[in-house]
Amino acid sequence: MAFGGGVAGVAGVSAEGVSFRVLGPLSVGVDGAEVAPPRSPVLQGLLGVLLIGRGEPLSADRLAELVWADRAWETSRQSVHVGVSRLRKWLASLDAGGPDRIEISYRDGYLFHHAADRSDLGRFRALTEDAGSLTEPARRYRALSSAFAERKGPLLAGLPRIDRDDPLVRGLEEEIRRAGMDLAAAALAAGSPDGAVAAVTALAEEFPFDEPLHAALMDLLAASGRRAEALRVYRRLGERLDAELGVQPSERAQRAHTRALSADQGEPGEKGEPGGKGGPGPAAEPPAPPPAQLPPDIPDFTGRTIEVAELAERLIGGAGTGRHRSVAVATVAGMGGVGKTTVAVHVAHQIANFFPDGQLYANLHGDSASPAEPGEVLGRFLRTLGMPGAGVPPSLDERVALYRSRLAGRRILVVLDNAARESQVRPLLPGTPDAAVLVTSRNALLGLEGAKPLGLDVLPSTQAVDLITSIVGEQRVAAEPGVAVEIARLCGHVPLAVRIAAARLLGRGHWTLSHLADILREERRRLDELVAGDLEVRAGFAMSYRLLPAGAQRAFRMTGLLDAPDFACWTVAALLDVPELDARRQLETLVDAHLVTVAGVDETGEIRYRLHDLLRLYARELAERDDTEAERTAALRRALGGWLALAEQAAEHVPGPCYALMHGPAERWTPPGGGRPPADPMAWFAAERAALVAAVGQAVDLGLADHAWDLAASMERYCDVRALYDDWRRMHERALGLCERTGNRRGEAVLLRGLLEVITWTSPAGPGPAMTRMRTMAARLLDLFTELDDPVGMADAMVAMVWGRVADGAEREALDLAERALRVARDAGYESGQARALHVRAVVHGEGDPRPARECLERALVIAERVGNPRFVATIVQFLGAAQALCGDFAGGRALLDKSVAMARRLDDRYLETFSLLYLSKLFVATGDERARPTLDLALAYSQAGNFRHHLADALGVLGELNLAEGDLPGAVASLERSVQVWRTRGWIPFLARALRTLGDAYSAGGEHDAARASWTEARELFQRIDDPAGRSSVEERLRSRDMIG
């Protein structure tokens, strides 16, 4: 990734050309190979200080002070000029013919010109600057870690001819120190303290008396479980301070010492760890930090004093006084471009300290064709508040209830930006009076109960001029004050239009204000029209757009076609069908023009960009005006093809469902000269997730069925591993509808296969029993793949049908289907299908016939390990552990189940872990192990949090049996009644029959004979339906028992 234009990248700096290192010993490289720096210490000193000059021209006198230090007074300016001349010649000898400009110019001082990414200091500062704009702790920590990876030691280490007390050197060292403090804080917030220890330790050694830095190091070490090292740091600091300065450590260092003393170290094998006394439990996780989702405040925010004060009073005026008996809600309404978001974010930052439990933020996209659904926003908020993705409930009402429960009693601020209507906002309102909500919208939202509206108008003339001044500087405005007033007026005093105009001046230093005013006067008629409505913002956009070069204009129009909320550079390259470097140049031009903004650095280290919603609409208008429909469609096809090409490659390396990946004929796009596959597939999917979901929807809207279904299918594995079941189901349902309408049979089949998976095992109940739906869908799936003559798909469909027949209790049919699936998969050379068929055949044998089940699983494990899908290997290991225990080998079964728990945790897969915990609890119950209940409680908690309804029903049944055995009859009845209820929604007849039988036992033990008879009677009918004579006989014996006579 390249650097340039003040925007930071992370990695992949080209080895071509000349590069410099100053964060450590001075070094120079040419085309990736290190070359010796100048021999002369004077030239080394000159090169070093010019490199760290950070764009500041250094006069001959300043260079003498910096390089000649204690001999500066006797060093003539001529000596400095001669030294610089010799340095220029040495630099010229390094010319490798690269494109970068490397030279020393003179204008009021010497200035070293080189691309920022060609020095470690440039990359360091760009990364720390990016980190400052990030609010998510993990992303901020990664950016700062990448910055410190550039650092190899103290600034210009080993250079003797440097005045290290000079403000230039000391200021830069202080900047590095502050970044180190930021790194420590980010590492703690992100739960990765150990990763920052090395960098902060090195800084602490360089600043041996810096107590805040040492305190930060102690906190990192203590949080990493290295308490002894933290205490050692404090002891050495105290000894050093006492010996050198005769003082004791400060209160801040003492507090860090106290925290280290009280740190909970925990010993391996304690309760909650595999192999410990408490049985298996989840790995310890740090508590989620308070959410801090506010976008960065505008540094040059100007005016709005009355409005800011009014909003702050509305939101916090009653804090702590009891005035607010309900949540405080304020709305900001006004036309597009008037600055609603800017004011809201500024106010939120101003009052953030009143909400110590955090700040939530969401853009509701109220001015788009598809405003954000409240359920989707609640899902994001709940995950931010510490809820795992699998634990987010499926329905809107459940999400609202859980969200309000999570916020109860918490002082938290919620900012809802760009709302469409009242009904979109109401589910997002907390229920606690301790919280506050700030909403922006183009509409007044007068129907929002309890909300206090604020209508936001354009800026007064003086504030509009102040805004121009804050951006372009006082000197230029003071030279033409009347023209500045004129520019503000021509922009209609609309903040967005004023800001764009001022940005043009900032980016064109040779322009006068009069020159810009002349340009704006050409638009007088259109600006006069804009006073009445939104057209005023469009006029500002048009002015900025018209000043762009043709290539950047086209880039702006094409990016406006995307529905994706943000995008990487390669996406624009696909839209334009150009190399990525060309696309990056166009994007930087658009960023400079404030027509595109930098959204931050994503999980892969790529810079992501976005268009403001109004700018996106404007760009689309231009595209419809200037580009043919064929050109627009071709651009979108390339972008969708680019996403598809990368998603296809990434999905191959994601350990999701074991069925075969299937793709279609949609054209892929790769950049000219070839592309590169994602280096980290999971990180790539995380970065592109929102864009991919939007891409599927846009492909559906465009009627591009092959793109839509292939993109959705490529997301299945990632959605499964990360428990993104809502995304999975929503994408598949939309794309499936298009495939059905257009007769795209392959797409219909592939999507139905994925949809069947997600709605059977991880979706809410209804309509109808889950396994009944699965049986119907699986039959349709087999018909589709048979029509397509696709044996791989047919094998997958048969495996799905087996599950349906097992749930019906039709074991003979299920075994025949499993054998048929195995035969079809074997003939097709489909190894994953063979493993799946053997697995499901073991399921048919089940608990009643565990020995052949174990044989099937042992064969399946050999194939699964050969295929190399770790998730499916873990699945087979856990089933094999259950079978081993059922065969009487408790120790062997326990070992395999413990192994599967560890495998599931490595994959961060709660669904897999829950199954293993469930069977471990059954084993513990059977052997009388005291760990049965805590293990079962954990399985139940995971089942409920993840909506794993099959596991939930089974776990409730085990709990009921355990309660019954221990004499807790009310607890047994309650658990078993819930188990029966869930089994009914599953439609799994054998399990339902057994649960009813046990529930009857619990009723009978409690003297509820009528209820017992009803449960046993229904169980008998079900056992008879599935042709289970042993089960039917066991219930008939109960019904004939003496307790039921009469």
| SS3 readout for 31-49 | CCEEECCCCCHHHHHHHHH
Q: Is the dihedral of CA 677, 678, 682, 687 positive or negative?
A: negative
Residues with Cβ within 8 Å of residue 801, at least 6 apart in sequence: 775, 778, 779, 782, 817
Residue pointed to by tokens 């005016």: 303
Residue type, 486: E
**Same domain, yes or no, for 419 and 499?**
no
Under a CB-based contact definition with an 8 Å cutoff, are residues 684 and 604 in contact? yes
Residues 519 and 527: their CA atoms lie apart, in Å, by 12
Residues 108 and 199: their CA atoms lie apart, in Å, by 38
**Same domain, yes or no, for 98 and 37?**
yes
**Same domain, yes or no, for 314 and 448?**
yes
Residues with Cβ within 8 Å of residue 912, at least 6 apart in sequence: 871, 874, 875, 878, 900, 903, 904
DSSP 297: P
pLDDT in tens, 694-733: 999 999 999 999 999 999 999 999 998 888 888 999 999 9
Other CB atoms within 10 Å distance of the CB of residue 347: 27
DSSP E strands in 647-716: the ranges are none
DSSP 58: B
| CB hemisphere CA count around 584 (13 angstroms) | 16
**Same domain, yes or no, for 93 and 230?**
no
Residues 174 and 193: their CA atoms lie apart, in Å, by 22
The residue from 425, 455, 485 where one domain ends is 455
- The pTM (predicted TM-score) of the whole model is 0.57
Tokens found for residue 488 = 């503000």
Tokens found for residue 713 = 């299918």
The residue from 502, 517, 547 where one domain ends is 547
pLDDT in tens, 166-183: 767 777 888 888 899 999
**Same domain, yes or no, for 145 and 248?**
yes
Within a domain: 176 = yes
Within a domain: 104 = yes
**What is the crossing angle of helices 870-886 and 910-927, to 10°?**
10
Q: Could you give phi then psi for residue 465, rounded to 5 degrees? A: -65, -40
Characterize the bridge pairing of strands 567-568 and 607-610: antiparallel
Residue 946: per-residue pLDDT: 81
Other CB atoms within 10 Å distance of the CB of residue 517: 19
Q: Which residues of the chain have pLDDT under 70?
A: 1-15, 54-55, 69-77, 95-101, 161, 167, 245-247, 262-288, 318-325, 335-336, 367, 369, 522-541, 543-544, 593-594, 612-614, 673-674, 763-767, 1042-1046
Quick check: helix, strand or coil at residue 929?
A: coil
Q: What is the dihedral of CA 904, 906, 907, 910, to 10 degrees?
A: 40
**Same domain, yes or no, for 436 and 331?**
yes
Within a domain: 681 = no
pLDDT in tens, 232-269: 888 888 888 777 766 677 777 888 887 877 664 333 23
Ordered DSSP codes for 892-927: HHHHHHHHHHHHHHHTT-HHHHHHHHHHHHHHHHHH
Under a CB-based contact definition with an 8 Å cutoff, are residues 806 and 844 in contact? yes
> Among residues 1030, 1010, 1027, which one has the least CA distance to residue 1039?
1010
**Same domain, yes or no, for 237 and 377?**
no
Under a CB-based contact definition with an 8 Å cutoff, are residues 606 and 587 in contact? no
Within a domain: 125 = yes
Ordered DSSP codes for 467-522: HHHHHH-HHHHHHSHHHHHHHHHHTTT-HHHHHHHHHHHHH-TT--HHHHHHHHHT
Under a CB-based contact definition with an 8 Å cutoff, are residues 234 and 252 in contact? no
Within a domain: 3 = no
Residue 2: per-residue pLDDT: 29
Task: Reply yes or no: is the peptide bond before residue 767 cis, omega within 30 of 0.
Answer: yes
pLDDT in tens, 867-918: 888 989 999 999 999 999 999 999 999 999 999 999 999 988 888 899 999 9
**Same domain, yes or no, for 107 and 244?**
no
Q: Give me the number of domains the chain comprises.
A: 4
Q: Could you give phi then psi for residue 294, rounded to 5 degrees? A: -60, 135
Under a CB-based contact definition with an 8 Å cutoff, are residues 168 and 126 in contact? no
Within a domain: 355 = yes
> Among residues 701, 573, 712, 698, which one has the least CA distance to residue 644?
712
- CATH number of the structural domain spanning residue 429: 3.40.50.300
Residue type, 865: E
Residues 979 and 992: their CA atoms lie apart, in Å, by 8
Tokens found for residue 455 = 């209508």
Residue type, 813: E
| CB hemisphere CA count around 1028 (13 angstroms) | 23
Alpha-carbon distance values, 177 to 123, 170, 975, 986 (Å): 16, 10, 58, 59
**What is the crossing angle of helices 725-742 and 745-761, to 10°?**
150
**Same domain, yes or no, for 74 and 205?**
no
Residue pointed to by tokens 């005023």: 536
**Same domain, yes or no, for 149 and 236?**
yes
Within a domain: 693 = no
Q: Could you give phi then psi for residue 27, rounded to 5 degrees? A: -145, 155
Tokens found for residue 549 = 């070069």
Residues 283 and 908: their CA atoms lie apart, in Å, by 10
Tokens found for residue 243 = 């010996």
- CATH number of the structural domain spanning residue 87: 1.10.10.10
Residue pointed to by tokens 């097709």: 828
Helices (H), 561-628: 569-576, 580-592, 613-626
Within a domain: 109 = yes
**Same domain, yes or no, for 238 and 338?**
no
Domain of residue 499: give its range: 463-547
**Same domain, yes or no, for 236 and 204?**
yes
The residue from 433, 455, 477 where one domain ends is 455
